[in-house]
Structure 1
Amino acid sequence: MIIAGIDEAGRGPCFGPMVVSIVVIDTKNESELKSIGVKDSKEILPKKRESLLLKVKEKTLEHQTIILEVKEINSLMVKYSLNEIEAMKIAELINNLDEEVEKVFVDSPDSIPKKFEERIRKYLNKDKQKIKIISENKADSKYVVVGAASIIAKVTRDKEIEKICEKFGDIGSGYPSDPYTKKFLAEYVEKNGKLPPFSRIFWKTCEVALEQKGTTQQKLF
Protein backbone atom coordinates (compact mmCIF):
# COMPACT_ATOMS: atom_id res chain seq x y z
CA MET A 1 0.00 0.00 0.00
CA ILE A 2 1.21 3.51 -0.83
CA ILE A 3 0.80 5.92 2.08
CA ALA A 4 1.90 9.43 2.97
CA GLY A 5 2.76 11.25 6.18
CA ILE A 6 2.59 14.99 6.79
CA ASP A 7 4.04 17.12 9.58
CA GLU A 8 5.09 20.69 10.22
CA ALA A 9 7.93 22.45 11.99
CA GLY A 10 7.81 25.97 13.36
CA ARG A 11 4.12 26.35 14.04
CA GLY A 12 4.53 28.03 17.43
CA PRO A 13 7.54 30.38 17.08
CA CYS A 14 7.18 34.14 16.87
CA PHE A 15 10.14 34.26 14.44
CA GLY A 16 10.79 32.60 11.11
CA PRO A 17 8.86 30.42 8.67
CA MET A 18 6.61 27.44 9.21
CA VAL A 19 7.62 24.40 7.18
CA VAL A 20 5.25 21.62 6.11
CA SER A 21 6.53 18.38 4.57
CA ILE A 22 4.99 15.28 3.03
CA VAL A 23 6.65 11.90 2.59
CA VAL A 24 5.29 9.07 0.44
CA ILE A 25 6.36 5.47 1.00
CA ASP A 26 5.33 1.90 0.32
CA THR A 27 4.24 0.29 3.59
CA LYS A 28 6.75 -2.49 2.82
CA ASN A 29 9.49 0.04 3.62
CA GLU A 30 8.19 1.14 7.02
CA SER A 31 10.47 -1.31 8.81
CA GLU A 32 13.49 0.11 6.96
CA LEU A 33 12.70 3.61 8.19
CA LYS A 34 12.33 2.33 11.75
CA SER A 35 15.62 0.43 11.50
CA ILE A 36 17.60 3.59 10.67
CA GLY A 37 16.09 5.44 13.63
CA VAL A 38 13.24 7.41 12.08
CA LYS A 39 10.77 8.74 14.66
CA ASP A 40 9.35 12.05 15.84
CA SER A 41 12.03 14.66 15.10
CA LYS A 42 11.59 16.18 18.58
CA GLU A 43 13.02 12.95 20.01
CA ILE A 44 16.17 13.11 17.84
CA LEU A 45 19.24 15.27 18.45
CA PRO A 46 19.98 17.91 15.75
CA LYS A 47 23.09 16.22 14.32
CA LYS A 48 21.29 12.88 14.12
CA ARG A 49 18.34 14.54 12.34
CA GLU A 50 20.68 15.98 9.74
CA SER A 51 22.38 12.64 9.18
CA LEU A 52 18.97 11.00 8.71
CA LEU A 53 17.70 13.56 6.20
CA LEU A 54 19.30 12.12 3.07
CA LYS A 55 18.57 8.53 4.13
CA VAL A 56 14.89 9.38 4.64
CA LYS A 57 14.65 11.05 1.23
CA GLU A 58 16.33 8.09 -0.45
CA LYS A 59 13.77 5.67 1.00
CA THR A 60 10.72 7.66 -0.10
CA LEU A 61 8.78 7.35 -3.33
CA GLU A 62 8.14 11.08 -3.22
CA HIS A 63 8.66 13.98 -0.84
CA GLN A 64 7.72 17.65 -0.97
CA THR A 65 8.17 20.63 1.32
CA ILE A 66 6.49 24.01 1.58
CA ILE A 67 8.30 26.85 3.34
CA LEU A 68 5.65 29.29 4.50
CA GLU A 69 7.50 32.56 4.92
CA VAL A 70 6.66 35.08 7.63
CA LYS A 71 5.30 37.62 5.15
CA GLU A 72 2.73 35.10 3.90
CA ILE A 73 1.83 33.98 7.44
CA ASN A 74 1.21 37.59 8.48
CA SER A 75 -0.85 38.28 5.37
CA LEU A 76 -3.00 35.15 5.69
CA MET A 77 -3.60 35.64 9.41
CA VAL A 78 -5.50 38.83 8.70
CA LYS A 79 -8.29 36.52 7.52
CA TYR A 80 -7.53 32.94 8.62
CA SER A 81 -6.60 31.02 11.76
CA LEU A 82 -3.28 29.21 11.93
CA ASN A 83 -5.11 25.87 11.79
CA GLU A 84 -6.84 26.94 8.59
CA ILE A 85 -3.56 28.08 7.04
CA GLU A 86 -1.87 24.81 7.92
CA ALA A 87 -4.80 22.85 6.44
CA MET A 88 -4.47 24.85 3.21
CA LYS A 89 -0.79 24.00 2.90
CA ILE A 90 -1.36 20.34 3.72
CA ALA A 91 -4.02 20.17 1.00
CA GLU A 92 -1.61 21.85 -1.41
CA LEU A 93 0.97 19.14 -0.75
CA ILE A 94 -1.61 16.38 -1.26
CA ASN A 95 -2.96 18.00 -4.44
CA ASN A 96 0.55 18.14 -5.90
CA LEU A 97 1.33 14.46 -5.35
CA ASP A 98 2.30 12.40 -8.38
CA GLU A 99 2.02 9.04 -6.60
CA GLU A 100 -1.35 7.33 -6.18
CA VAL A 101 -1.69 7.46 -2.41
CA GLU A 102 -4.36 5.50 -0.52
CA LYS A 103 -3.92 6.98 2.95
CA VAL A 104 -2.43 10.16 4.36
CA PHE A 105 -1.47 10.35 8.03
CA VAL A 106 -1.53 13.87 9.45
CA ASP A 107 -0.32 15.25 12.78
CA SER A 108 -3.36 17.27 13.86
CA PRO A 109 -2.86 20.58 15.70
CA ASP A 110 -6.57 20.56 16.58
CA SER A 111 -7.64 18.86 19.80
CA ILE A 112 -10.52 17.47 17.72
CA PRO A 113 -8.62 15.78 14.85
CA LYS A 114 -11.77 15.14 12.81
CA LYS A 115 -12.30 18.90 12.51
CA PHE A 116 -8.80 19.28 11.12
CA GLU A 117 -9.45 16.56 8.55
CA GLU A 118 -12.56 18.46 7.46
CA ARG A 119 -10.52 21.64 7.07
CA ILE A 120 -8.06 19.84 4.80
CA ARG A 121 -10.80 18.28 2.65
CA LYS A 122 -12.23 21.71 1.84
CA TYR A 123 -9.09 22.46 -0.17
CA LEU A 124 -8.52 19.08 -1.83
CA ASN A 125 -8.97 18.71 -5.57
CA LYS A 126 -11.77 16.43 -6.73
CA ASP A 127 -9.38 13.66 -7.79
CA LYS A 128 -7.80 13.61 -4.31
CA GLN A 129 -11.05 13.35 -2.33
CA LYS A 130 -10.90 9.55 -2.47
CA ILE A 131 -7.76 9.54 -0.31
CA LYS A 132 -8.37 8.46 3.27
CA ILE A 133 -7.04 11.01 5.76
CA ILE A 134 -6.04 9.80 9.22
CA SER A 135 -5.79 12.93 11.34
CA GLU A 136 -4.50 12.29 14.85
CA ASN A 137 -2.85 14.17 17.68
CA LYS A 138 0.82 13.23 18.12
CA ALA A 139 0.79 11.28 14.86
CA ASP A 140 4.52 12.02 14.51
CA SER A 141 5.20 9.70 17.44
CA LYS A 142 2.68 7.05 16.32
CA TYR A 143 3.46 6.58 12.62
CA VAL A 144 6.96 6.31 11.18
CA VAL A 145 5.87 7.92 7.90
CA VAL A 146 4.83 11.06 9.82
CA GLY A 147 8.07 10.90 11.78
CA ALA A 148 9.94 10.91 8.45
CA ALA A 149 8.03 14.02 7.36
CA SER A 150 8.77 15.67 10.70
CA ILE A 151 12.51 15.14 10.19
CA ILE A 152 12.48 16.79 6.76
CA ALA A 153 10.37 19.70 8.03
CA LYS A 154 12.49 20.25 11.14
CA VAL A 155 15.88 20.13 9.39
CA THR A 156 14.58 22.44 6.66
CA ARG A 157 13.32 24.98 9.19
CA ASP A 158 16.52 24.83 11.22
CA LYS A 159 18.46 25.77 8.09
CA GLU A 160 16.13 28.71 7.49
CA ILE A 161 16.72 29.92 11.05
CA GLU A 162 20.47 29.58 10.52
CA LYS A 163 20.19 31.93 7.52
CA ILE A 164 18.43 34.52 9.69
CA CYS A 165 21.08 34.17 12.40
CA GLU A 166 23.86 34.69 9.86
CA LYS A 167 22.35 38.07 9.00
CA PHE A 168 20.98 39.28 12.35
CA GLY A 169 22.94 37.39 14.99
CA ASP A 170 21.69 34.85 17.51
CA ILE A 171 17.88 35.01 17.56
CA GLY A 172 17.54 31.72 19.42
CA SER A 173 15.04 29.13 18.22
CA GLY A 174 12.32 31.69 17.57
CA TYR A 175 10.05 30.18 20.23
CA PRO A 176 8.55 32.67 22.72
CA SER A 177 9.85 30.66 25.69
CA ASP A 178 13.45 30.77 24.44
CA PRO A 179 15.44 33.30 26.54
CA TYR A 180 17.70 34.11 23.57
CA THR A 181 14.66 34.86 21.42
CA LYS A 182 13.10 37.05 24.12
CA LYS A 183 16.38 38.92 24.64
CA PHE A 184 16.89 39.50 20.91
CA LEU A 185 13.31 40.71 20.43
CA ALA A 186 13.41 43.13 23.35
CA GLU A 187 16.76 44.60 22.29
CA TYR A 188 15.76 44.89 18.61
CA VAL A 189 12.49 46.69 19.40
CA GLU A 190 14.22 48.96 21.91
CA LYS A 191 16.85 49.94 19.34
CA ASN A 192 14.71 50.13 16.19
CA GLY A 193 11.21 50.90 17.46
CA LYS A 194 9.75 48.11 15.36
CA LEU A 195 9.70 44.32 15.07
CA PRO A 196 12.42 42.37 13.25
CA PRO A 197 11.44 41.67 9.61
CA PHE A 198 11.10 37.93 10.31
CA SER A 199 8.48 38.40 13.06
CA ARG A 200 4.97 37.00 13.13
CA ILE A 201 3.19 40.20 14.04
CA PHE A 202 0.01 38.60 15.40
CA TRP A 203 1.89 36.56 18.02
CA LYS A 204 1.28 37.82 21.55
CA THR A 205 5.02 37.91 22.26
CA CYS A 206 5.55 40.40 19.44
CA GLU A 207 2.53 42.49 20.38
CA VAL A 208 3.74 42.76 23.98
CA ALA A 209 7.23 43.79 22.86
CA LEU A 210 5.75 46.66 20.85
CA GLU A 211 3.41 47.69 23.66
CA GLN A 212 6.31 47.88 26.10
CA LYS A 213 8.11 50.16 23.67
CA GLY A 214 4.95 52.20 23.20
CA THR A 215 4.86 51.44 19.49
CA THR A 216 1.80 50.43 17.46
CA GLN A 217 1.75 47.27 15.36
CA GLN A 218 3.49 47.49 12.02
CA LYS A 219 1.42 47.64 8.88
CA LEU A 220 1.51 44.56 6.69
CA PHE A 221 1.87 46.37 3.42
Structure 2
Amino acid sequence: MNIVLNLNQEELVRLKAKYYSSSQPSKNPYITFFAKVGKTSISLYNSGKVVFQGSDAEKLAEDFGYVRTPVPKKQTDLIGTDEVGNGSYFGGLMVTASFISEENLPFLKAIGVADSKKLTDEKICQIAPSLIEKIPHVALVVEPQKYNEVIASGYNAVSIKVALHNQAIYLLEKQLKHQPEHVIIDAFTSATNYQKYVNKEQNHPLTTVTLLTKAEDQFFAVAVSSIISRFLFLESLKKLSKEVGLVLPSGAGALSDQVAAQIIKTYGIEMLEHVAKLHFANTQKALKLAQR
Protein backbone atom coordinates (compact mmCIF):
# COMPACT_ATOMS: atom_id res chain seq x y z
CA MET A 1 0.00 0.00 0.00
CA ASN A 2 1.36 3.40 -1.00
CA ILE A 3 -0.23 6.66 0.25
CA VAL A 4 1.02 10.15 -0.59
CA LEU A 5 0.01 13.18 1.50
CA ASN A 6 0.91 16.85 1.20
CA LEU A 7 1.03 18.15 4.76
CA ASN A 8 1.32 21.70 6.08
CA GLN A 9 4.17 22.81 8.34
CA GLU A 10 2.24 22.18 11.55
CA GLU A 11 1.38 18.64 10.47
CA LEU A 12 4.99 17.96 9.46
CA VAL A 13 6.25 19.03 12.89
CA ARG A 14 3.70 16.70 14.51
CA LEU A 15 4.71 13.81 12.26
CA LYS A 16 8.42 14.20 13.07
CA ALA A 17 7.71 14.39 16.80
CA LYS A 18 5.45 11.34 16.75
CA TYR A 19 7.89 9.12 14.87
CA TYR A 20 11.19 10.56 16.11
CA SER A 21 12.01 7.40 18.08
CA SER A 22 11.44 5.31 14.93
CA SER A 23 13.51 7.55 12.65
CA GLN A 24 16.44 6.23 10.65
CA PRO A 25 19.01 7.77 8.31
CA SER A 26 18.15 7.68 4.61
CA LYS A 27 20.56 7.46 1.69
CA ASN A 28 18.08 9.30 -0.54
CA PRO A 29 19.26 12.96 -0.74
CA TYR A 30 15.68 14.12 -1.36
CA ILE A 31 14.35 12.60 1.88
CA THR A 32 14.67 14.88 4.93
CA PHE A 33 13.03 12.51 7.44
CA PHE A 34 12.62 8.75 7.34
CA ALA A 35 11.00 6.41 9.87
CA LYS A 36 10.22 2.72 9.95
CA VAL A 37 7.16 1.60 11.93
CA GLY A 38 6.82 -2.16 11.80
CA LYS A 39 6.62 -3.06 8.11
CA THR A 40 5.62 0.46 7.08
CA SER A 41 8.00 3.26 6.11
CA ILE A 42 7.36 7.00 6.32
CA SER A 43 9.36 9.24 3.99
CA LEU A 44 9.30 13.03 4.08
CA TYR A 45 10.67 14.62 0.91
CA ASN A 46 12.19 18.07 0.35
CA SER A 47 8.99 19.08 -1.44
CA GLY A 48 6.92 18.49 1.72
CA LYS A 49 5.37 15.34 0.26
CA VAL A 50 5.02 12.46 2.72
CA VAL A 51 4.87 8.86 1.51
CA PHE A 52 3.48 6.09 3.73
CA GLN A 53 4.42 2.71 2.27
CA GLY A 54 3.65 -0.72 3.68
CA SER A 55 0.95 -2.88 5.21
CA ASP A 56 -0.13 -0.26 7.79
CA ALA A 57 0.11 2.77 5.48
CA GLU A 58 -3.59 3.57 5.70
CA LYS A 59 -3.67 3.25 9.48
CA LEU A 60 -0.67 5.57 9.99
CA ALA A 61 -1.78 8.07 7.36
CA GLU A 62 -5.21 8.41 8.95
CA ASP A 63 -3.61 10.37 11.82
CA PHE A 64 -2.64 13.02 9.25
CA GLY A 65 -5.88 13.51 7.36
CA TYR A 66 -6.07 10.44 5.14
CA VAL A 67 -9.63 9.14 4.89
CA ARG A 68 -10.38 5.60 3.78
CA THR A 69 -13.15 5.72 1.23
CA PRO A 70 -14.73 2.92 -0.80
CA VAL A 71 -13.22 2.78 -4.28
CA PRO A 72 -15.71 2.17 -7.11
CA LYS A 73 -15.33 -1.18 -8.83
CA LYS A 74 -16.88 0.05 -12.07
CA GLN A 75 -15.18 2.06 -14.82
CA THR A 76 -18.41 3.67 -15.93
CA ASP A 77 -21.05 6.11 -14.70
CA LEU A 78 -18.42 8.15 -12.95
CA ILE A 79 -16.53 11.42 -13.32
CA GLY A 80 -12.75 11.51 -13.13
CA THR A 81 -10.58 14.62 -12.80
CA ASP A 82 -6.92 15.43 -13.20
CA GLU A 83 -4.76 18.53 -13.60
CA VAL A 84 -1.63 19.36 -15.58
CA GLY A 85 0.71 22.32 -15.31
CA ASN A 86 0.90 22.64 -11.55
CA GLY A 87 4.54 21.52 -11.55
CA SER A 88 5.63 23.62 -14.51
CA TYR A 89 6.94 27.17 -14.11
CA PHE A 90 5.87 28.20 -17.59
CA GLY A 91 2.39 27.68 -19.00
CA GLY A 92 -1.02 27.58 -17.41
CA LEU A 93 -2.86 25.24 -15.06
CA MET A 94 -5.40 22.95 -16.71
CA VAL A 95 -8.01 20.93 -14.82
CA THR A 96 -10.39 18.57 -16.64
CA ALA A 97 -13.37 16.55 -15.45
CA SER A 98 -14.57 13.74 -17.75
CA PHE A 99 -17.59 11.44 -17.60
CA ILE A 100 -17.36 7.87 -18.87
CA SER A 101 -20.38 5.78 -19.79
CA GLU A 102 -20.56 2.12 -20.80
CA GLU A 103 -20.79 3.02 -24.48
CA ASN A 104 -17.48 4.95 -24.27
CA LEU A 105 -15.35 1.95 -23.23
CA PRO A 106 -14.80 0.28 -26.66
CA PHE A 107 -13.74 3.64 -28.13
CA LEU A 108 -11.33 4.38 -25.26
CA LYS A 109 -9.71 0.95 -25.46
CA ALA A 110 -9.39 1.17 -29.25
CA ILE A 111 -7.81 4.63 -29.17
CA GLY A 112 -5.20 3.59 -26.60
CA VAL A 113 -6.18 5.69 -23.60
CA ALA A 114 -3.75 5.48 -20.69
CA ASP A 115 -2.34 7.85 -18.11
CA SER A 116 -0.89 10.86 -19.94
CA LYS A 117 2.43 10.39 -18.09
CA LYS A 118 2.84 7.07 -19.92
CA LEU A 119 2.05 8.52 -23.35
CA THR A 120 4.34 10.58 -25.53
CA ASP A 121 3.30 14.16 -26.22
CA GLU A 122 2.98 13.15 -29.87
CA LYS A 123 0.45 10.44 -28.96
CA ILE A 124 -1.43 12.81 -26.67
CA CYS A 125 -1.75 15.42 -29.41
CA GLN A 126 -2.95 12.69 -31.76
CA ILE A 127 -5.78 11.30 -29.61
CA ALA A 128 -6.83 14.29 -27.45
CA PRO A 129 -8.94 16.01 -30.16
CA SER A 130 -11.04 12.84 -30.54
CA LEU A 131 -11.51 12.62 -26.78
CA ILE A 132 -12.50 16.28 -26.62
CA GLU A 133 -15.06 15.67 -29.36
CA LYS A 134 -16.60 12.42 -28.07
CA ILE A 135 -16.29 12.35 -24.26
CA PRO A 136 -18.49 14.61 -22.07
CA HIS A 137 -16.07 16.82 -20.18
CA VAL A 138 -15.38 20.24 -18.72
CA ALA A 139 -11.88 21.69 -19.07
CA LEU A 140 -10.89 24.75 -17.05
CA VAL A 141 -7.84 26.63 -18.30
CA VAL A 142 -6.06 29.19 -16.13
CA GLU A 143 -3.32 30.96 -18.06
CA PRO A 144 -0.31 32.30 -16.08
CA GLN A 145 -1.49 35.92 -15.96
CA LYS A 146 -4.81 34.88 -14.40
CA TYR A 147 -3.10 32.29 -12.20
CA ASN A 148 -0.82 34.97 -10.73
CA GLU A 149 -3.81 37.23 -10.07
CA VAL A 150 -5.66 34.43 -8.25
CA ILE A 151 -2.61 33.58 -6.13
CA ALA A 152 -2.21 37.26 -5.27
CA SER A 153 -5.86 37.37 -4.17
CA GLY A 154 -5.25 34.85 -1.38
CA TYR A 155 -5.34 31.40 -2.95
CA ASN A 156 -2.35 29.08 -2.65
CA ALA A 157 -1.08 26.35 -4.97
CA VAL A 158 -3.33 23.72 -3.35
CA SER A 159 -6.47 25.76 -2.80
CA ILE A 160 -6.54 26.96 -6.43
CA LYS A 161 -6.45 23.31 -7.59
CA VAL A 162 -9.22 22.38 -5.15
CA ALA A 163 -11.35 25.25 -6.49
CA LEU A 164 -10.77 24.21 -10.12
CA HIS A 165 -11.44 20.49 -9.57
CA ASN A 166 -14.58 21.33 -7.62
CA GLN A 167 -15.87 23.74 -10.27
CA ALA A 168 -15.13 21.36 -13.16
CA ILE A 169 -17.05 18.57 -11.40
CA TYR A 170 -19.92 20.91 -10.60
CA LEU A 171 -20.22 22.16 -14.19
CA LEU A 172 -20.00 18.65 -15.67
CA GLU A 173 -22.69 17.38 -13.31
CA LYS A 174 -24.98 20.14 -14.60
CA GLN A 175 -24.37 19.02 -18.20
CA LEU A 176 -25.28 15.39 -17.58
CA LYS A 177 -28.85 14.06 -17.66
CA HIS A 178 -28.41 12.16 -14.40
CA GLN A 179 -26.21 12.19 -11.33
CA PRO A 180 -23.14 9.93 -11.71
CA GLU A 181 -22.48 7.22 -9.15
CA HIS A 182 -19.10 8.56 -8.14
CA VAL A 183 -16.33 11.14 -8.67
CA ILE A 184 -12.65 10.16 -8.62
CA ILE A 185 -9.98 12.82 -8.23
CA ASP A 186 -6.32 11.99 -8.83
CA ALA A 187 -5.15 12.87 -5.29
CA PHE A 188 -2.95 15.96 -4.97
CA THR A 189 -3.66 16.61 -1.29
CA SER A 190 -5.26 14.87 1.68
CA ALA A 191 -9.03 14.41 1.86
CA THR A 192 -9.10 16.59 4.97
CA ASN A 193 -7.19 19.37 3.26
CA TYR A 194 -9.39 19.11 0.17
CA GLN A 195 -12.53 19.38 2.28
CA LYS A 196 -11.14 22.36 4.21
CA TYR A 197 -10.65 24.34 1.00
CA VAL A 198 -13.74 23.11 -0.84
CA ASN A 199 -15.93 24.26 2.04
CA LYS A 200 -14.97 27.83 1.10
CA GLU A 201 -16.26 27.45 -2.46
CA GLN A 202 -19.69 28.63 -3.54
CA ASN A 203 -20.67 25.64 -5.69
CA HIS A 204 -20.67 22.05 -4.44
CA PRO A 205 -21.21 18.86 -6.50
CA LEU A 206 -23.87 16.39 -5.42
CA THR A 207 -21.86 13.22 -6.14
CA THR A 208 -19.59 11.51 -3.60
CA VAL A 209 -15.96 12.50 -4.22
CA THR A 210 -12.99 10.19 -3.61
CA LEU A 211 -9.36 11.32 -3.76
CA LEU A 212 -7.27 8.39 -4.95
CA THR A 213 -3.51 8.15 -5.42
CA LYS A 214 -2.49 7.14 -8.96
CA ALA A 215 -6.12 7.17 -10.03
CA GLU A 216 -5.10 7.75 -13.64
CA ASP A 217 -3.74 4.17 -13.66
CA GLN A 218 -7.03 2.76 -12.42
CA PHE A 219 -9.86 4.68 -14.07
CA PHE A 220 -10.45 5.60 -17.69
CA ALA A 221 -12.26 8.78 -16.64
CA VAL A 222 -9.16 10.11 -14.85
CA ALA A 223 -6.86 9.01 -17.67
CA VAL A 224 -9.02 10.87 -20.21
CA SER A 225 -8.92 14.00 -18.07
CA SER A 226 -5.16 13.63 -17.75
CA ILE A 227 -4.75 13.43 -21.53
CA ILE A 228 -7.03 16.39 -22.28
CA SER A 229 -5.34 18.51 -19.61
CA ARG A 230 -1.88 17.64 -20.95
CA PHE A 231 -2.95 18.51 -24.49
CA LEU A 232 -4.32 21.89 -23.39
CA PHE A 233 -1.16 22.56 -21.39
CA LEU A 234 1.05 21.82 -24.41
CA GLU A 235 -1.11 24.13 -26.55
CA SER A 236 -0.76 26.87 -23.91
CA LEU A 237 3.01 26.43 -23.81
CA LYS A 238 3.19 26.56 -27.61
CA LYS A 239 1.10 29.75 -27.77
CA LEU A 240 3.10 31.53 -25.08
CA SER A 241 6.38 30.45 -26.69
CA LYS A 242 5.34 32.17 -29.92
CA GLU A 243 4.48 35.34 -28.02
CA VAL A 244 7.96 35.64 -26.47
CA GLY A 245 9.90 34.18 -29.39
CA LEU A 246 11.49 31.53 -27.16
CA VAL A 247 10.84 27.85 -26.53
CA LEU A 248 9.35 27.72 -23.04
CA PRO A 249 10.31 24.46 -21.33
CA SER A 250 7.98 22.30 -19.28
CA GLY A 251 8.93 21.66 -15.66
CA ALA A 252 10.72 23.89 -13.19
CA GLY A 253 14.41 23.05 -13.57
CA ALA A 254 17.53 25.10 -14.28
CA LEU A 255 16.57 25.56 -17.94
CA SER A 256 13.42 27.39 -16.81
CA ASP A 257 15.58 29.75 -14.72
CA GLN A 258 17.74 30.55 -17.74
CA VAL A 259 14.82 31.15 -20.11
CA ALA A 260 13.06 33.31 -17.50
CA ALA A 261 16.22 35.40 -17.06
CA GLN A 262 16.36 35.91 -20.83
CA ILE A 263 12.71 37.05 -20.85
CA ILE A 264 13.41 39.53 -18.05
CA LYS A 265 16.42 40.95 -19.90
CA THR A 266 14.53 41.26 -23.19
CA TYR A 267 11.02 42.26 -22.12
CA GLY A 268 11.03 42.96 -18.37
CA ILE A 269 9.28 41.27 -15.46
CA GLU A 270 5.86 42.17 -16.88
CA MET A 271 6.27 39.64 -19.69
CA LEU A 272 7.40 36.97 -17.23
CA GLU A 273 4.15 37.50 -15.33
CA HIS A 274 2.32 36.77 -18.59
CA VAL A 275 4.01 33.41 -19.23
CA ALA A 276 5.09 32.03 -15.83
CA LYS A 277 3.77 31.22 -12.35
CA LEU A 278 5.60 33.86 -10.36
CA HIS A 279 5.34 32.29 -6.90
CA PHE A 280 7.69 29.48 -7.99
CA ALA A 281 11.27 29.74 -6.68
CA ASN A 282 12.40 30.03 -10.32
CA THR A 283 11.44 33.71 -10.33
CA GLN A 284 14.02 34.72 -7.72
CA LYS A 285 16.67 32.57 -9.41
CA ALA A 286 15.88 34.17 -12.76
CA LEU A 287 16.10 37.69 -11.31
CA LYS A 288 19.59 36.93 -9.98
CA LEU A 289 20.68 35.49 -13.31
CA ALA A 290 19.32 38.52 -15.15
CA GLN A 291 21.41 40.85 -13.00
CA ARG A 292 24.70 39.21 -13.95
Same fold by TM (over 0.5)? yes
Secondary structure of 1:96's partner?
A: helix
Partner Cα distance (1:178, 1:209) in 2: 9
Deviation (angstroms), 1:154: 0.7
2:279 corresponds to: 202
Query: Structure 1 residues 164, 192: CA separation in 2 closer, same or farther (over 3 Å shift)?
Result: closer
Structure 1 residues 67-120: Cα deviation after superposition (integer angstroms, max 9, x where no partner): 11212211222312111001111111122121122211111211x245325534
Deviation (angstroms), 1:65: 0.8
Which residue identity lines up with residue 169 of structure 2 in the other structure? I
2:28 corresponds to: none
Deviation (angstroms), 1:29: 3.2
Which residue identity lines up with residue 41 of structure 1 in the other structure? S
1:91 corresponds to: 166
Query: Structure 1 residues 161, 47: CA separation in 2 closer, same or farther (over 3 Å shift)?
Result: same
Which residue identity lines up with residue 258 of structure 2 in the other structure? K
2:47 corresponds to: none
Structure 2 residue runs of 5 or longer lacking an equivalent are 1-75
* Mean Cα deviation higher: 49-58 or 149-158: 49-58
Matched, 1:70 2:122: no
2:188 corresponds to: 109
Query: Structure 1 residues 122, 188: CA separation in 2 closer, same or farther (over 3 Å shift)?
Result: closer
Structure 1 residue runs of 5 or longer lacking an equivalent are 215-221
Deviation (angstroms), 1:26: 1.1
What is the TM-score of this pair, normalised by structure 2? Answer: 0.65
CA contact (8 A) 2:244 2:263 kept: no
Secondary structure of 2:252's partner?
A: coil
Which residue identity lines up with residue 160 of structure 1 in the other structure? S
RMSD: 2.4
Secondary structure of 2:80's partner?
A: strand
Partner Cα distance (2:105, 2:79) in 1: 11
Q: Structure 1: which 4+ aligned runs deviate by more than 3 Å?
A: 27-32, 117-122, 190-193, 211-214
Structure 1 residues 132-190: Cα deviation after superposition (integer angstroms, max 9, x where no partner): 111112212221110001111111111111111222223332422262x3332122223
CA contact (8 A) 2:187 2:213 kept: yes
Secondary structure of 1:182's partner?
A: helix
CA contact (8 A) 1:95 1:124 kept: no
Partner Cα distance (1:65, 1:36) in 2: 20
Matched, 1:140 2:216: yes
| Candidates 235, 241, 258, aligned match of 1:159 | 235
| Candidates 170, 173, 181, aligned match of 2:246 | 170
